[in-house]
Amino acid sequence: MLLKRIFPRKGKTTNVSDNNGKKDVPEGLMTKCVNCKTIYISKELEQNLNVCPNCDHHYQQNAWQRIESIFDEDTFEEWDKELLSTNPLGFPEYLEKIDKDREKTNLNEAVVTGKGLIDDLPVAFTVMDARFRMGSMGSVVGEKIARAVERAKDENIPFIVFTASGGARMQEGVLSLMQMAKISVALKRHSTAGNLMISVMTDPTTGGVSASFASQGDYNFAEPGALIGFAGRRIIEQTIREKLPADFQTAEFLLKHGQLDQVIHRHKMRETLSTILKIHDKNNRPPSRRQEAGGIK
Amino acid sequence: MNQILDFEKPIIDLRDKITELKKISTESEIDLTNEVKELEKKLNILEEDVYSNLKPWNRVQMARHQQRPTTLDYISEIFTDFIEFHGDRYYGDDEAIVSGIAFYNDEPITVIGHQRGKATKENIKRNFGMPHPEGYRKAIRHMKQAEKFDRPIVCFIDTKGAYPGKQAEERGQSEAIAYNLLEMAGLEVPIVCIVIGEGGSGGALALGVGDHIHMLENSTYSVISPEGAASILWKDPALAEKAAESMKITSYDLKEFGVIDEIIPEPKGGAHRSLEEQAKNIDKVLTASLKELNQYNVTDLLENRWLKYKRIGEFSEETL
């Protein structure tokens, strides 16, 4: 199982060298790890799910790399890829920037939603892509996620989200802020119907995204070393006038402070999710005690 | 001491002049009645001109005015028998949020709101109205109590934002806000949210997932402060005035976006000119809101809440 994950199927793999995020995989044939400075062939990193083979540093994965590494082969069907951002505030150059990122990433927006199978169990899925406007959430991101959650509710299936986002998108102002509320209401409906929601926070998950659906899972996980927090480090340092420790707002920091259920290594991700899905699988189970009692809330 | 806003300066100057003329008139027996009348007419026109043409930045200034009424001011004007309750039961009591129960139009109600101070000492006690996680946890604890005892909830929103501090992060600022959003979404009682001052981002929204959202005319509601936007956009927080313009954060903007339900008018010159009048205006809208919301059963209430948020956002949908 693990080997199958480590050596991804040919054909659909995306070239990692077109990522140009700060902490992302550098261009070129050879790569020097930003963490341990080991030099190795870039392909090797890619085949290791963007995890440094030497020090386990987790580089960002883009949306489709993530989908490839999580779902059963060729089972993922994408939803709502025709939704496009408009410019509700009339922000200069906003749509040009969106177009540029669309070209760069081949995505319509900073999130991919859809449905697939993990070890034959159906899951509604959302994965954010930090290459697209830093994964920020505007109307389209909010709408796509809310629709995915609503479909998960209608189909009575679990919802899993992988977050990677700087937070609400400034260029869409208060409409971005309100997407936090919109998704929350959708998730509440999904949850009240007795469905499972798992959140996996990846690097980075901050601001309005960490303060909404990223933290609303029945289980909240994170990848090692991921930056997770509400306010930015610089803002906090300016406010309290002291230097913050190096591990502040890392996944490990959050785990220590009781904010996460687990920090999960990427190589164990699919396996862990699969086990949790099996434990929560409603098929082949007798009616729930609540159903037996006539649906008491 | 009354804080004077820069754009009000001409009005204040003219008012001072009138007072002076009146004084001269009585003291020196020179009849200046006509001159005073003339100036008072001018003052009326000037006030009309200034206050009916407020720029977004002027409204930000109003929303932040030192003497602007706070949650506790409105509570004592609008509700009876208010009893405040403290603490989140986990860590502490956050005085940046006040919370309690009262009667409203002879019916029980739960009242919650951000609380800032007007003077420095009070502001320090209230952490300038910027809550820690325990503030939000206190709020949701009381909201769930409201649900248990089947009484509606009113939330007053008035914060620059959730406090960006070290301990706030350690204790889960994100989780606290996220939890409130999720739980408010499902509360089986009517929730009315009223922005009375600044509605600063997630820290405001954590008391803001309601069935009706209203804003005082000169309040603001935004994803980021004008200063924050300016420093991101132009690397210069001093350009906040320009940012306030482009971020569309006034009550009129939010009404146009379909985010809020009603704009609650303010007395000429802002809420701080007359707490009594402002409280009356709030009372009127709140009464109407609750009258409408009280007629829904739980299923309809929650369905409408979903539909309200579902339609917020602007995008296009076409085949690529």
Q: What is the pLDDT of residues A23-32, one digit of tens each?
A: 555 567 888 9
For chain B, give the mean pLDDT: 95
**Chain A neighbours among B 37-66 (CB < 8 Å)?**
none
What's this model's pTM, rounded to 2 decimal places?
0.92
pLDDT score of A24: 55
| Main-chain phi, psi angles of B103, to 5 degrees | -100, 140
- CB-based burial label for A281 (10 Å; 0-12, 13-18, 19+): middle
User: Span B192-220, mean pLDDT?
Assistant: 98
Place of tokens 């603490």: B87
Banded model confidence at residue B319, pLDDT cuts 50, 70, 90? low
Respond yes or no on whether ipTM tops 0.90: yes
Chain A positions in Cβ-Cβ contact with residue B185 (cut-off 8 Å): 181, 184-185, 187-189
User: Span A259-280, mean pLDDT?
Assistant: 97
pLDDT score of A9: 46
Distance CA A209, CA A217 (A): 13
Q: Measure the CA angle with vertex A19, ends A28 and A106; round to 5°.
A: 125
Chain A positions in Cβ-Cβ contact with residue B224 (cut-off 8 Å): 168, 170
* A186, A215, A240 ranked by CB distance to B178: nearest: A215
Q: Are residues B209 and A140, on separate chains, in Cβ contact within 8 Å?
A: no
In the predicted structure, residue B302 carries a pLDDT above the cut 80: yes
What tens digit of pLDDT does each residue of A252-264 get? Answer: 999 999 999 999 9
Nearest-neighbour CA in chain B from A267: distance (Å)? 27
Nearest CA in chain A to B179: A216
Distance CA B191, CA B205 (A): 13
pLDDT score of A27: 64
pLDDT score of A109: 96
Q: Are residues A216 and B248, on separate chains, in Cβ contact within 8 Å?
A: no
Distance CA A235, CA A55 (A): 30
- Count of CB contacts below 8 A, A vs B? 193
**Hey, is the C-beta of B320 within 8 angstroms of any chain A C-beta?**
yes
For chain A, give the mean pLDDT: 90
Is B195 strand, coil or helix? strand
Q: Are residues A211 and B174, on separate chains, in Cβ contact within 8 Å?
A: yes
User: Span A161-184, mean pLDDT?
Assistant: 97
Distance CA B186, CA B179 (A): 11
Banded model confidence at residue A284, pLDDT cuts 50, 70, 90? confident
pLDDT score of A296: 52
pLDDT score of B167: 96
- CB-based burial label for A17 (10 Å; 0-12, 13-18, 19+): middle
- Nearest alpha carbon to residue A230 among B222, B138, B172: B172
User: Span B236-262, mean pLDDT?
Assistant: 94
In the predicted structure, residue A8 carries a pLDDT above the cut 50: no
Percent of chain A with pLDDT over 90: 80
pLDDT score of B218: 97
Q: Are residues B183 and A188, on separate chains, in Cβ contact within 8 Å?
A: yes
**In Å, how far are A108, A231, B166, B225 from A237, measured between CA atoms?**
36, 10, 8, 18
pLDDT score of A16: 42
In the predicted structure, residue A290 carries a pLDDT above the cut 50: yes
Q: Are residues A211 and B173, on separate chains, in Cβ contact within 8 Å?
A: yes
pLDDT score of B31: 82
Chain B positions in Cβ-Cβ contact with residue A211 (cut-off 8 Å): 162, 173-174, 177-178, 181, 202, 206
* B169, B184, B186 ranked by CB distance to A249: nearest: B169
Distance CA A55, CA A36 (A): 6
In A194-211, which positions are buried (b, 16+ CB within 10 angstroms) versus exposed (e)? ebbbbbbbbbbbbbbbbb
pLDDT score of A20: 44
Distance CA A29, CA B215 (A): 56
In the predicted structure, residue A13 carries a pLDDT above the cut 50: no
In the predicted structure, residue A17 carries a pLDDT above the cut 70: no
Domains of chain A and any CATH numbers: 1-57 (no CATH), 60-292 (3.90.226.10)
Place of tokens 């971005």: A176
- CB-based burial label for A1 (10 Å; 0-12, 13-18, 19+): exposed
* B172, B206, B257 ranked by CB distance to A174: nearest: B257
Q: Are residues A180 and B170, on separate chains, in Cβ contact within 8 Å?
A: no
Banded model confidence at residue B293, pLDDT cuts 50, 70, 90? very high
In the predicted structure, residue B143 carries a pLDDT above the cut 90: yes
Chain B positions in Cβ-Cβ contact with residue A244 (cut-off 8 Å): 166
Chain A positions in Cβ-Cβ contact with residue B206 (cut-off 8 Å): 211
Distance CA B260, CA B77 (A): 24
Q: Which one has a higher pLDDT value, A97 or A40?
A: A97
Chain B positions in Cβ-Cβ contact with residue A181 (cut-off 8 Å): 181, 185, 205, 208-209, 309, 312
pLDDT score of A295: 66
In the predicted structure, residue A11 carries a pLDDT above the cut 80: no
Q: By the 8 A CB rule, do B144 and B186 touch?
A: no
User: Span B161-173, mean pLDDT?
Assistant: 96
pLDDT score of B267: 95
Q: By the 8 A CB rule, do A123 and A157 touch?
A: yes
pLDDT score of B60: 96
Q: Which of the residue ranges A18-27, A105-114, B81-90, B272-281 would you say has the lowest mean pLDDT?
A: A18-27
